[in-house]
Amino acid sequence: MDKFSQLRKEYPVFIYHSYEINEEGFSCHFSIGEYNFYPKWKWNKNYFTEKTDRKLIDTIAFSLGMTELISYWKCACPPTVLVKCGALDEFQINWWKKLYFNGLGEFFYRNAITTDFESFMTIIPDNTEPPRFSETGTERKGAVIPVGGGKDSVVTLELLSGMKEDNVCYLINPRGATLNCAHTAGYEDDKIIGFSRSIDKALIERNNDGWLNGHTPFSAIVAFSSYLCAVLAGKKYIALSNESSANETYVSGMEVNHQYSKSTEFERDFREYTEKYFLPEPEYFSLLRPWSEWQIAREFVKYPKYFPVFQSCNLGSKTDIWCGKCAKCLYVYILLSAFLTDDILTEIFGCNMLDNPEFLPMFDGLVLDGEDKPFECVGTKDEVRLSLEMSLKLRKNNPPALLKAYYGYKEIGGFDIPVLDNFFDNDNFVPKELLLLLKG
């Protein structure tokens, strides 16, 4: 019996027992068999006021617990999920199942799990009548800008600089890169909202014991927590930095998207959910959705003040460095190599990543059709190819190892490189008053 089936048989029920939110933070309680889990969040200060709608905040908090749920459920994948707190109607049950199923696509694939939407989980709530809310006439202005420390959120910070007085930056587990990017953009500490999220050690222990582990839709946690942040801060917008490229699948011939919860599909679903069960505002959208990653890189290089502080390498996130060895580092290096010299890039990344033939397997996954993309937040192969075309022009007199390899691939495959200069994805939710920032 495979591990997935064995664990489901041994632990058939997952329970969402309770949640609590107050001036200090948020916590919830899950259990699988004899194991209990208590995820916790802490705010960097008290954001509750006498005008805070406690009932609305409570309902958003329950949903934040539903996003946390999937990280704990996946360790044993119990077929039945009992929800003993909050309330879920039939639409919500299907909504959460869709998020979980699609958001776990990579998890299922990498753990060789074969399942389907109907059978992977049954959600049974005690209460099937969720509360409803109506707009109270609260005037909201400005935007919450989630800052991850990479080039994308930097571009959003700069595009929305004209609204800076009314905006706030939102950081989950603030660290050097995220704080430094916010400060470099001109946001003082009083305009930075920091939520600290901690994973229960009991989950880490289960993983160390050989239970199932893998990727979950983290950006859904960003969505619900940033919505909570926006309600507490009285903001009109939640301006994400997810690009059009996030919609592309990662595994050849399969619908497996490492970035599902950054996709337009999830964004559309989330907006529907918040309008139906919370309020029409704050309005959640990805400011950079009309653009490709390549266009974002082209815009980013206009702001060299961020070169010493931005960082989006997962392996180096705890120490705020680019590891210079992973697919994410290689991908960002390639994008920026279309615009920047190797001297500048080496200063950022600590090495010339294009001149290391050991990276060829990762390189092939980023470039070649039929090769699976690395499971990192990376853009399309067409964007990588266009970046390499431009990079070759800058380095034609002395091309490094990976550019030489790419040149050889061109001779064999004859890639059709699209012109992405004027790409604009019209399937977006950017408010009309902000679209001009992208069309200039």
Quote the domain boundaries for residue 70.
3-131+193-286
Whether the CB-CB separation of 434 and 292 falls below 8 Å is answered with no
Q: Is residue 335 located within the same domain as residue 408? A: yes
Cβ-Cβ contacts under 8 Å for 49 (sequence gap 6 or more): none
Q: Both 232 and 367 in a single domain?
A: no
- If asked whether residues 276 and 367 sit together in one domain, one would say no
Q: Does residue 295 belong to any structural domain of this protein? A: no
Residue 427 lies in a domain: no
State pLDDT tens for residues 106-136: 899 889 999 999 999 999 999 999 998 887 6
Same domain? For 230 and 367 the reply is no
Whether 50 and 101 share a structural domain: yes
CA–chain centroid gap for 319, Å, is 20
Residue 348 lies in a domain: yes
Residue 112 counted as domain residue: yes
Three-class HEC string of the chain: CCHHHHHHHHCCEEEEEEEEECCCEEEEEEEECCEEECCEEEECCCCCCCCCCHHHHHHHHHHHHHHHHHHHHCCCCCCEEEECCCCCCHHHHHHHHHHHHHHCHHHHHHCCCCCCCCCCCEEEECCCCCCCCCCCCCCCCCEEEECCCCHHHHHHHHHCHHHHHHCEEEEECCCHHHHHHHHHCCCCHHHEEEEEEECCHHHHHHHHCCCCCCCCCHHHHHHHHHHHHHHHHCCCEEEECCCHHHHCCCCCCCCCCCCHHHCHHHHHHHHHHHHHHCCCCCEEEECCCCCCHHHHHHHHCCCHHHCCCCCCCCCCCCCCCCCCCCHHHHHHHHHHHCCCCHHHHHHHHCCCHHHCHHHHHHHHHHHCCCCCCCCCCCCCHHHHHHHHHHHHHHCCCCCCHHHHHHHHHHHHHCCCCCCCCCCCCCCCCCCHHHHHHHHC
Asked whether residue 437 is assigned to any structural domain, the reply reads: no
Give backbone dihedrals phi and psi of 352, rounded to 5 degrees, phi first. Answer: -90, 100
Asked which of 286, 308, 324 is the last residue of a domain, the reply is 286
Domain assignment present for 72: yes
The answer to whether residues 329 and 231 belong to one domain is no
Tally of domains within the chain: 2
Question: What is the chain's pLDDT, residue by residue, as a tens digit (440 residues)?
Answer: 699 999 999 999 999 999 999 999 999 999 999 999 999 999 999 999 888 899 999 999 999 999 999 999 999 999 999 999 999 999 999 999 999 999 998 899 889 999 999 999 999 999 999 998 887 667 889 999 999 999 999 999 999 999 999 999 999 999 999 999 999 999 999 999 999 999 999 999 999 999 999 988 899 999 999 999 999 999 999 999 988 766 665 444 446 666 788 899 999 999 999 999 999 889 999 999 999 888 999 999 999 999 999 998 877 667 778 887 888 899 999 999 999 999 999 999 988 988 888 888 888 878 877 766 656 566 677 888 888 888 888 888 888 888 888 776 654 444 455 556 678 889 999 999 999 999 86
Q: Are residues 71 and 11 in the same domain?
A: yes
Domain identity same for 379 and 258: no
* 278 & 329 share domain: no
**Of the candidates 268, 286, 304, which is a domain's last residue?**
286
User: CA distances (Å), 323 to each of 311, 326, 327, 408, in order?
Assistant: 10, 7, 10, 28
Residue 364 and residue 263 share a domain: no
Do residue 31 and residue 115 come from a single domain? yes
| Cα→Cα distances 265→140, 247, 388, Å | 26, 8, 29
Q: Is residue 240 part of a domain?
A: yes
For residue 334, the model assigns a pLDDT of 93
Reading the block at residue 26, the tokens are 């948020």
Residues 99 and 207 in one domain: yes
